[in-house]
Amino acid sequence: MDSGQIEAQINEFELLQSGGMYQDDFLLTWDRSEDEIAAVFEVAEILQKMRQNNISSKAFDSGLAVSLFRDNSTRTRFSFSSAANLLGLSIQDLDEGKSQIAHGETVRETATMVSFMADVIGIRDDMYIGKGNAYMREVSEAVKQGHGSGLLEQRPTIVNLQCDIDHPTQSMADALHLIQHYGGISNLRGKKIAMSWAYSPSYGKPLSVPQGIVGLMTRFGMDVVLCHPEGYGIMPEVEEIAKRNAQACGGSFTKTDSMSGAFEDADIVYPKSWAPFRAMEQRTELYDRNDMNGITMLEKDLLAQNARFKNWQCTEELMGRTKNKNALYMHCLPADITGVSCKLGEVEASVFDRYRDPLYKEASFKPYVIAAMIFLAQFPNPAEKLLQLLTRGKRRIF
């Protein structure tokens, strides 16, 4: 691909109405308009093509990208670092154990202190219902006030790297994978995607991945099926968002308790374990009361509940029920692989091995998606800035 093709895509992107993203955060996909969602995909692809063509996309000469991970992470942590580096920002991890947070420092004070030269703050806070997204909004309000009062020279963008409600960088990367796999966003219309619960020997996986998938894929005219055993429902308000999206965009949103039914004629399958919404609410309440005995009992009950559904795994037999026996298998990773990472898990090893390269490809889009979110929030004229980077022609590797 030559620079002329990249320039043509920049010109297409410029037609989108994405100005509402400037000086704003990316916290939930359903907070963003259709054009803003499309803009993230376009900028992500442009940045990817620039890198593939050895063109530097360092729009910043200095600045910080601060990361705060309150849960373990591999893919998202390194994706955020890669995205910041791609744009020319330095990375600084906020380790709460080494900060003054343990000594009672307020959220507003912490947010201000880390933001003097920060252009973006990426936060993962997905453990407790009602806490994570609320914390991100508290940080957002703090930096907004700091910038408004002149304390901060710039207004850092807050990027949701996974919360209790949504995992926007994951679902957007998943969607970009589908867009490139099927040759365009319009080709997603009418495709059936089965977002299915699957068995795991662990109990507390967040709800934000399935919620992110049904909350986003219903915007593309897809037929989205949410599948889980009784008792493993997601947040009712997210289901309502998925229903509204499907009605507005010409697709469908349905639920079933049959994994084989969900896989029937599916174009895409996404078997993934998650904890029941009601149990996660209870877990949060117990932690609020510091009831560790209650937590231990809840964990024991949830593991026993999971064990009732050990047959809920993605098998070769189930894949044979999908469209042309060849549905695209997706997962946010790491998957619980039967006989590999655990005795019995979400997916048979033969299925996972067959889709290993596409799964890694799926994960590879996340750095570009995060970089696009930052880019659109930090520049009032993103198309002009992309064109400047392109025509400057600075080589990434000399």
Domain boundaries, the chain: 3-166+366-392, 170-363
- Write out the E strands in 164-230: 192-196, 223-227
Per-residue pLDDT reduced to its tens digit, 10-39: 999 999 999 999 999 999 999 999 999 999
Give residue-wise pLDDT tens across range 292-337.
Answer: 999 999 999 999 999 999 999 999 999 999 999 999 999 999 999 9
Q: How confident is the model at residue 101 (pLDDT cuts 50, 70, 90)?
A: low
Q: Is 288 left (phi over 0), alpha (psi -120 to 50) or beta?
A: alpha
Quick one: pLDDT at residue 100?
65
Task: Please report which confidence band the pLDDT of residue 175 belongs to, taking 50, 70 and 90 as the band edges.
Answer: very high
pLDDT digits (tens, 9 = 90+) for 258-280: 999 999 999 999 999 999 999 99
Task: Examine domains 3-166+366-392 and 170-363 and report if their fold is the same.
Answer: yes
Q: What's the pLDDT tens digit per position in 351-380?
A: 999 999 999 999 999 999 999 999 999 999
Amino acid 398: pLDDT = 85
170-363 classified as CATH 3.40.50.1370: yes
Place of tokens 């997603």: 188
Average pLDDT over residues 377-386: 98
Q: What is the pLDDT of residue 102?
A: 60
Q: Which residues contact 214 (CB under 8 A, 6 or more apart)?
A: 195, 224, 226, 234, 238, 239, 242, 253
Q: What's the pLDDT at 3?
A: 87
Residue 103 confidence (pLDDT)? 61
Q: How confident is the model at residue 204 (pLDDT cuts 50, 70, 90)?
A: confident
Confidence of residue 71 (pLDDT cuts 50, 70, 90): confident
Q: Provide the whole-model pTM.
A: 0.96
Question: What's the pLDDT at 35?
Answer: 98
CATH superfamily of 3-166+366-392: Aspartate/ornithine carbamoyltransferase (3.40.50.1370)
Percent of the chain with pLDDT strictly greater than 70: 98
Residues 6+ apart with CB under 8 A from 9: 42, 45, 46, 49
Mean residue pLDDT across the chain = 96
| More confidently predicted of 204 and 25 | 25
pLDDT, tens digit, 9 for 90 and up, residues 85-98: 999 999 999 988 76
Q: SS3 breakdown of the chain: % helix, strand, coil, rounded to 5? A: 50, 15, 35
- Give pLDDT tens digits for 157-170: 999 999 999 999 99
Distance, CA of 195 to CA of 159 (rounded, Å): 24
**Which amino acid type is present at position 129?**
I
322: three-class secondary structure by DSSP = coil
